[in-house]
Structure 1
Amino acid sequence: MRKRLFILTILFVLKLSAIAKVSVDARLDSVEIFIGQQVQITLSVTTDKSANVFFPVFTPQQQIIPGVEVLNTSETKIDAIENGVLYSRVYTLTSFDAGLYYLPPFEINVDKKVYKSESLALKVLSVNVDTTDVFKYYGPKDIQTNPFKWSDWSWLFGLSILMLILLSLDYYFYLRLRDNKPIIKKVKFVKRLLPHQKAIKAIEQIKAEKYPASDNPKEYYTKLTDALRKYIQERFGFNAMEMTSNEIIERLKNIQEPKDIYELGSLFQVADLVKFAKYSTLINEDDKNLVNAIAFINSTKIEKVIDEKDHYPQLTNKEVQSIKTRNFLRIIIIGIAISCLTLLCYIVYGISQILIL
């Protein structure tokens, strides 16, 4: 019997100890506020880690008592302390009626047992207004009208959008015109040289370069015979550039008298020996061959004056259409640019008139 009584005593003491661990506290950050101001109540509970804590729940604009309402409720904050855990939650209150309000204790559920905080008092102060002199602060104001109406600006806004669209279109056309390759349709003045004039000019170039034939006879005779071959091809009308020296001489014999081509044949023979047999010539022989080349050109040339003439390139239908398209794009680009400039001036003028009014 004594043992049973001892056990019950121990259990009762343990229960009292557990109850003593729970502590509830409510604190106002201000005991006085003006009408419409806000005040915060911090509700906190100290208990052990294993306890289940439930704070009172209020919906926004719910009145705790008549005249005092809850605006907001924060999340529950949990902090570890030396003797257990501190749970806290902040409630934001306000009041729109002046007076002294008694806030009843808040009820908190800890492990299915209700604990109450202490009661609080909140004083709401009104603002004294001197209604006998309304002009003391601000005078009465007439009904004000909006200085700008949408109807005044809508057409300017529309014109601005139109101008931006036209500018974008103009830039697109400009890119198309810029990226196309230009087609030249200007008149060219072509001056043609006669065959003997070209040949004499080439030989004069050989003389001006002062080739030492004794040092590089192959290059010297190659340039000299190439000038003669081009002259023969243009003067007599057969492809001398692709023929051998003997073929050229035989072809010329059928066209010219042998006395006109005898020296030419000797020149080609020496040139072939130099180019293919590494034949060494004398300085006098080189000069003689050069003189013979000029003599052949002068004896066979045809003096015919060819005047400068206008040359018009022949354009295809596609090129003609391209020219027309490019000209049309230029006209469109210039027209759109002028239109945008006109719109800009008109928009600026319209804005200035509205601001003046």
Structure 2
Amino acid sequence: MVKRFLIIVLVVVCSLAAMAQVDVEARIDSLEMVIGQQTKISLTVKTKEGSQVQFPTFKPQQMITPGVEVVETGPVVTSDVGNGLCSYQRSYTITSFDGRLYYLPPFEVKVGGKAYKTKSLALKVLDIPVDTTNVEKFFGPKDVQDNPFLWSDWSVVFWFSLLMLLTGAATLYLYLRLRDNKPVVAHIRIVKRLLPHQKAMKRIEEIKAEKMVSSENQKEYYTRLTETLRKYIEERYGFRAMEMTSSEIIDRLTETQDRQALDELRALFQTADLVKFAKYSTLINENDMNLVNAIEFINKTKLENQQEEVVEKPQLTEEEERSVKERRVLKTTIWAFAAVSAAIMVYVVYSLYQLLT
């Protein structure tokens, strides 16, 4: 029995502690206001951080109570108050157009799905006192008055209207001139460019197709093979390999390339020099080895991440360039005049509306 009693007491204490962690408050900025004025109601909820807080929602002009309507609902403002608690606040702007004392019922706020109600509020709306004893002080509506014509009122509109017509005429003249001046059409070509290693491999394939490896004319074979390598090196590394000797080319490549690949390339150039200048005769397997060495050198040193398409812009004559510049100036001037005309027209229309109303 005592044990059951202690359990009930523990449950009640935990419930009270949970309720104590939620504090809901309603506050009004002013208890009195003149009819048509506005005041604010602030709802503040203090609860555990991360709790789901749902404030009451009101649409614009929705009545809280008959005679008091909501003008605007503010955003939810969150702030940390310490000890694991957080403050949530939302304000409601209200107004009234009927002078009397209003009772504002409690607002319902949901925290974690559970409803909590605030205290009720009161709002007194004051009427504006009207002296009904002196009726002679009240004046009825006036008749429509005819304003006299004053040139000073219309002169600015007149001159701006004239300026608008002049700028419009100038815009039309420049447009007709631009239309008669035919544009210069320059076609930009996109050319697919072969990369240096692709060109070199294409020439080597031509050498293989012509079966020059087994040809008796070894001088022509080595001449074409070394020219292919020289052109590849020139395009790949950016120095004039076609005008340099074999040893000079090897010296330029020594700092950047694999020494084993350079040794094979040096042997190829030396063999080619002997064949071309010393009438040295090579064996077929030696020719095959030099061709394979050339292909391996190209594959080891090629750069594949290069732009393969090149945009070629045509060269214009002086007359065409002058025509392009003239059209550019005409277009800029036309747009400027058109913008000025539009701005003046807006100003003239607005001024006429002000004068006529």
For the criterion TM > 0.5, the same-fold answer is no
TM-score (norm. length: structure 1): 0.42
Choose 1 or 2 for highest CA Rg: 1
Give the structure-2-normalised TM-score: 0.42
